[in-house]
Amino acid sequence: MRRSLCALVGAALLGTSAGAASAQDLYIGTLEVRKDEVILVRCDLAANRYLLRDRQGEPEQPVAKLREKLKTLKAPVYVEVIGQYVEIQGHEGNALDVIGLENVSAGKSCHLVDALGSK
């Protein structure tokens, strides 16, 4: 009985955390603004690009607020994006439905090319 209860609780916990992990992830990079769109250039070897979008149905609009804030920040602007990947037409097929933004920092980059000073 005890073993069954532990297995049931363990399965419930794994199901919850697995569902949460697939729903959102952390994306680290710098920001670019093209027209009225905010693009995350991820700090990975390929420098993957993602269109940032406010998640539908959410009362918070982190991307809209960020777009306004970017007008006063000195590039490069570092950010940690909590979001869900979405495949779209255009923008190299990549977008993130943004849940939250953390550590927005002006004048900071995480790209290797910037660290080496050759840009």
- Reported as a single tens digit per residue, the pLDDT across 49-107 is 999 999 988 788 999 999 999 999 999 999 999 999 999 987 678 999 999 999 999 99
Instruction: Please check whether the domain covering 24-116 is classified as CATH 2.40.50.
Output: yes
Q: Kindly report the CA angle at 95 between 94 and 98, in degrees rounded to 5?
A: 155
Q: What is the pLDDT of residue 110?
A: 85
Percent of the chain with pLDDT over 70: 73
Overall size of the chain counted in residues: 119
- What is the domain partition of the chain in residue ranges? 24-116
